[in-house]
Amino acid sequence: MTALDLSSPVAVVGTGTMGQGIAQVALVAGHPVRLHDAVPGRAREAAAAIGARLDRLVEKGRMTAADRDAAQARLTPADGIADLADCALVVEAVLERLDVKQDLFRELEDIVADDCLLATNTSSLSVTAIGGALRHPGRFVGLHFFNPAPLLPLVEVVSGFATDVTSATRAYETARAWGKTPVACADTPGFIVNRIARPFYAEAFAVYETQGADPATIDAVLRESGGFRMGAFELTDLIGQDVNESVTHSVWQSFFQDVRFTPSLAQRRLVESGRLGRKTGQGWYDYREGAERPEPHTAEPAEAPAYVVAEGDLGPAGELLAMIREAGVQVREEDEDNGTRLVLPSGGQLVLADGQTSVEFRDVVYFDLALDYRGATRIALSASQDTSPRTLAEATGLFQALGKKVSVIGDVPGMIVARAVARIIDLAYDAVAKGVATEEDIDTAMRLGVNYPLGPFEWSRRLGRGWAYALLDDLHLRDPSGRYAPSLALYRHAYATDKREGSTS
């Protein structure tokens, strides 16, 4: 099954920001496009707005004037839904209400031809439930674009329970012909991106709610150590706290209030207060004129230790050993079975975040996961009230000698980056095991849909087979609510034999 022919008319129903964006994508790809909106006059306003955006593309040299003129000639406002009768594809981008969408598609089914592909751009509703209102739900599919649709490459092609393979394939190939990067997905709450991204927000909020660190520090660690383009607090301010919380609540409810997707009470209070982020001037941060952005906590300069004793290879943080030597700090190596720690001159230990707490041990400082320890500009350290001040100072000075800013947070098991990445990996393995999508499509979706530096499976391969499972298992022992319980899929992955190496790892 191939993509729709460019001569085939495409209709977009709903002319808000997303509807206009989808229409522009189809138009620039070369299709005749019909715009329809239930509110009189909106379709013509939307056509004018799209025309203005095409003009800007010409001004920026991204489109020729001739191509613009041809595209505008293919764009037609449709006053009545009957004007969509000859369309080969109708994409809906109306209000996120099941009854509204079902009524629309019932009406469309009576108008369009039997071979017309019907698609919803829903981000939170069940594709199966919307299509359930149709006499022929096999031709119904989800085409979930990301905002702004003309710029973001990802499209989740969602097959409902009754979607025909031919319909899903045609939708997939059409999205690819439009210059997008489609990923195939089963109809599951949140699809790929909104399902697997939940821990990025949830764990940042959880650290804040337990007074482990403030938003500015958490965001800085996620960016400067984790390699994420934005931190969770600034990103949700950009998205809109009401929008982000609504998606989280929808996924949580759709999974029968699964504790792994529990919404944040702190975010709920923010929404209730009307502080919705940039669009209202206040969210986690203050965007009003004259307001100062809070600075992340950064430790004062400390003296680097003269030497460290390396017990083991430090696992995912192994590149630190070479960096420490390059900084002029002596590294004494000791063979230790399963050793993954540095011993400081104080006798205290510096350990990569593993899901345990500092207070459980005599004198331990934890350090957080980094995407790339050489490239990271900030490292978070975690200590308890019982940690020796000398040990914390030596740990701080060591990372400062490596050119890093240091943020000291509370005694947070799994810290910030490590616990978020571990949970993202877990949800990804669980999704594959349940037939939601392939590993490749999940990695693609998370990199393109939310700009993650690595996809979950790319993270997993880099960190080692058992890393995420071990961290979550330790977290689960300390918080037995079920929030951190590793999935069966992750358990199987952690203990499966890697046949390429002939051993478990």
User: What CA dihedral angle connects 181, 187, 189 and 195, to 10 degrees?
Assistant: -30
Q: Could you list the beta-strand ranges (E) of 37-102.
A: 75-78, 89-92
- The tens digit of pLDDT for each residue in 125-150 reads 999 999 999 999 999 999 999 999 99
- The tens digit of pLDDT for each residue in 145-155 reads 999 999 999 99
Q: Which of 31, 36, 144, 297 is catalytic?
A: 144
Residue-wise DSSP of 152-173 = --EEEEEE-TT--HHHHHHHHH
CB 102 within 8 A of CB 130: yes
The phi, psi pair for 25, rounded to 5°, reads -60, -50
Omega before residue 148 within 30° of 0, cis: yes
Asked whether residue 235 carries a pLDDT value surpassing 50, the answer given is yes
Mean pLDDT on 172-186: 98
pTM for this prediction: 0.95
Tell me which residue of 200, 393, 196, 404 sits closest to 296, measured CA to CA: 404
Integer CA distances (angstroms), 54 to 8, 22, 44, 257, in order: 21, 14, 15, 44
- The tens digit of pLDDT for each residue in 250-274 reads 999 999 999 999 999 999 999 999 9
Distance CA 283, CA 275 (A): 5
Asked whether residue 505 carries a pLDDT value surpassing 50, the answer given is no
Mean pLDDT on 429-450: 98
DSSP class of residue 219?
H
Residue-wise DSSP of 429-473 = HHHHHTTS--HHHHHHHHHHHH--SS-HHHHHHHH-TTHHHHHHH
Distance CA 314, CA 279 (A): 44
- The tens digit of pLDDT for each residue in 316-346 reads 999 999 999 999 999 998 876 666 899 999 9
Mean pLDDT on 27-43: 96
Task: Provide the 10 A C-beta neighbour count for residue 55.
Answer: 14
Integer CA distances (angstroms), 96 to 122, 127, 482, in order: 7, 12, 31
Q: Which stretches of 188-305 are DSSP H helices?
A: 193-196, 198-209, 215-224, 232-239, 241-254, 265-272
- Token duo for residue 216: 């500015």
Asked whether residue 500 carries a pLDDT value surpassing 50, the answer given is no
Gap between the terminal Cα atoms of the chain: 42
Asked whether residue 41 carries a pLDDT value surpassing 60, the answer given is yes
Active site residue 123: yes
CA atoms within 13 A on the CB side of 396: 20
Give the least confident one: 152-156, 289-293, 473-477.
289-293
Mean pLDDT on 280-295: 96
CB 268 within 8 A of CB 191: no
What kind and span of H or E run contains 137? none
Q: Could you list the beta-strand ranges (E) of 37-104.
A: 75-78, 89-92
Tell me which residue of 79, 135, 81 sits closest to 108, measured CA to CA: 81
SS3 57: helix
Integer CA distances (angstroms), 33 to 108, 121, 140, 150, 163, in order: 16, 16, 19, 15, 24
Q: Which of 31, 36, 123, 234 is catalytic?
A: 123
Own/partner pairs, 282-290, CB within 8 angstroms, 24+ separation? 283/233, 283/236, 283/237, 283/241, 284/215, 284/233, 284/234, 284/236, 284/237, 284/241, 285/215, 285/216, 285/233, 285/234, 285/237, 287/237
Higher pLDDT, 496 or 68: 68
Asked whether residue 502 carries a pLDDT value surpassing 50, the answer given is no
CB 317 within 8 A of CB 373: yes
Q: Which of 121, 159, 167, 194 is catalytic?
A: 194
Helix axes 417-433, 488-495, angle to 10 degrees: 100
CB 353 within 8 A of CB 382: yes
Distance CA 433, CA 274 (A): 40
Please count the residues of the chain: 505
Tell me which residue of 433, 343, 359 sits closest to 395, measured CA to CA: 343
Active site residue 31: no
Tell me which residue of 113, 122, 114 sits closest to 91, measured CA to CA: 122
Q: Which of 36, 121, 126, 156 is catalytic?
A: 156
- The pLDDT score that the predictor gives to residue 339 is 66
- The pLDDT score that the predictor gives to residue 174 is 98
Mean pLDDT on 386-394: 96
- The pLDDT score that the predictor gives to residue 312 is 86
Active site residue 156: yes
Distance CA 406, CA 392 (A): 11
- The pLDDT score that the predictor gives to residue 499 is 47
Tell me which residue of 387, 312, 325, 386 sits closest to 352, measured CA to CA: 312
Task: Provide the 10 A C-beta neighbour count for residue 150.
Answer: 18
What kind and span of H or E run contains 294? none
Strand 349-352 to 364-367 pairing: parallel
Mean pLDDT on 417-433: 98
For the chain, what is the mean pLDDT? 95
Residue 366 forms beta bridges with which residues? Answer: 351, 382
